[in-house]
Amino acid sequence: MNINRLIYPGFWFGKTDKKDALEMARRGAGGFCIYGGTREGVTELIPALRAASPLEKLFICADYEDGLGRWITGESWVLSNLAVGASGQEEIAYQKGLTLALEARNVGVDWVFAPVLDLCDEPNNPIVNTRSLGANPHSVARLGAALCRGLKDGGVLNSIKHFPGHGKTTQDSHLGLPVLNRTREELEKHELIPFRAALPYADSVMIGHLLLPELDSKNPASLSRSVITTLLQKEMGYDGLVFTDALCMKAIGDEKTAALAALNAGAHILLAAEDSVALSDFLQTQQIAPEVIARSLSLQDALAERLPDAPKEGLPAREFNVRYAANCAVQNGYLPVLKPGQSAAYLELGNEEDFAAKPFLNALESAGLRLVKPGEKADAFIAVSFSNYKAFKGHINLSREEKQKLSRAAAQYGQSVFVSFGSPFGSNEIRELTGRLFLFSPADEAQICAADILLGKTKAKGILPV
């Protein structure tokens, strides 16, 4: 039995040495998780890994929760989970699953680590936010199960994450160890509800790097037998495949020690170590129970058989966004109705990742609206925020300085609107604003929808899910 099939290396374009990846493929790694790159780079890498592998089925995985746009340069985003949560519609969640599956298969990925079932019930959580389907556990349960079904019907494997849920934390587990101070009774009433609902449709479960002192005061969930074996497998009855979250994350310390602990706790796959070749060498020297390896191989073989030959086709990303953006948009307060010939002062905030606001601005200007700088005379004031989650960033929402800037600018105009293409939090304390418009996504089509709402061409039909 090959212990390397329990290792799924990460491949980070611009960082990972391709020679190391090919070496792990030759050793029989069970799969790879792809991060970044271009469409050309991804579609060239995947066949090379498969050609080097002795396995009949080498799994290719990716975190394409919001389509390819978060990871692949120049590709389209799909409306976020929080946008789907605002729609409240299971059909839209299901269709998103089909769309994510189509987008992933088009670049050669057959395992999408989605959906996120963490609750969006902590405004300062820097890594959940728009990845969540909302704050209400029952709504997240409905929509999460539907999204799982869409992914399965669309021809890719799914993975519900991050068990048992780390929405109610303020630490990014890429940078440190979040602590979830919930009693078992509180977990049952909140975090566990979406996971229980989605388990029947889950191809795998990813365990979060977070500490739950009530269940295990020493070990993160991803390394805890109390969480994986006792809670998930025995008490909740899950008998499928279990992933660790990425071992390169800073929450768990030394990745070799963590890998052993995870296997002993009941995990089946060791995901995205910082140095998978070194981890492979290390595991060869360890005495790992044969039944642990055999169980992982058996589960992987079964999942390979589950991939359908004729998956159900979903909408391409842009078509999905156009069809559902208005259903996922939320209006709060009074929005200015902009007309041709009018002017609007424009302020952009929370754009650390250099998202392009061109679709939004072009749609306004094409309709005859003139944009000016804040402080200049105008009929209305528009502030746009792209504040969003990103691994290893460690913060989200507007800074204190940005809030002050927003407050001063909005105070100068009778009509003002805060348009968010990311986090819905952080603007409520700005009393000078007369309205807010939430799209929850930087996708081009979400931006155009926001412009159409402000121009009176369509209406926001969603309800704030947080």
State yes or no: is 395 an active-site residue.
no
For β-strands 330-333 and 270-271, DSSP reports them as unpaired
| Residue whose pair of structure tokens reads 């140095």 in the numeric block | 275
Cβ–Cβ < 8 Å for 82, 466: yes
Residues of the chain with CATH 3.40.50.1700: 324-454
State yes or no: is 110 an active-site residue.
no
Weakly modelled stretches of the chain, pLDDT under 50: none
Q: Extract the tokens encoding 59.
A: 């799994």
Catalytic residue among 118, 153, 245, 444: 245
Class (C level, CATH) for 324-454: alpha beta
- CA–CA gap between residue 69 and residue 390 (Å, rounded): 13
* Cis before 162 (ω within 30): yes
Number of H helices, E strands in the chain: 15, 16
Torsion from C-alpha of 370, 376, 382, 383, nearest 10 degrees: 130
Angle at 341 (CA atoms; ends 336, 344), nearest 5 degrees: 45
377: number of Cβ within 10 Å: 9
The pLDDT score that the predictor gives to residue 337 is 86
Residues of the chain with CATH 3.20.20.300: 3-317
Q: Which residues contact 152 (CB under 8 A, 6 or more apart)?
A: 97, 158, 201, 203
- Give the rounded distance of the alpha carbon of 29 from its chain centre: 25
Taking only Cα atoms into account, the Rg of the chain, rounded to an integer number of angstroms, comes to 23
- CA–CA gap between residue 157 and residue 114 (Å, rounded): 9
Angle at 395 (CA atoms; ends 392, 398), nearest 5 degrees: 145
Long-range Cβ contacts of 51-55 (<8 Å, 24+ apart): 52/22, 52/25, 52/26, 53/25, 53/26, 53/28, 53/29, 54/26, 54/28, 55/5, 55/28, 55/30
Angle at 371 (CA atoms; ends 411, 401), nearest 5 degrees: 40
- CA–CA gap between residue 445 and residue 325 (Å, rounded): 7
Q: Extract the tokens encoding 387.
A: 């504040």
The DSSP secondary-structure symbol of 313 reads P
Catalytic residue among 174, 190, 209, 268: 174
- CA–CA gap between residue 196 and residue 255 (Å, rounded): 29
- CA–CA gap between residue 372 and residue 380 (Å, rounded): 10
Q: Determine the straight-line distance between the first and last CA of the chain, rounded to whole angstroms.
A: 47
For β-strands 160-163 and 204-207, DSSP reports them as parallel
The pLDDT score that the predictor gives to residue 391 is 64
Which is the CATH superfamily of the domain at 3-317? Glycoside hydrolase, family 3, N-terminal domain (3.20.20.300)
The DSSP secondary-structure symbol of 126 reads S
| pTM for this entry | 0.96
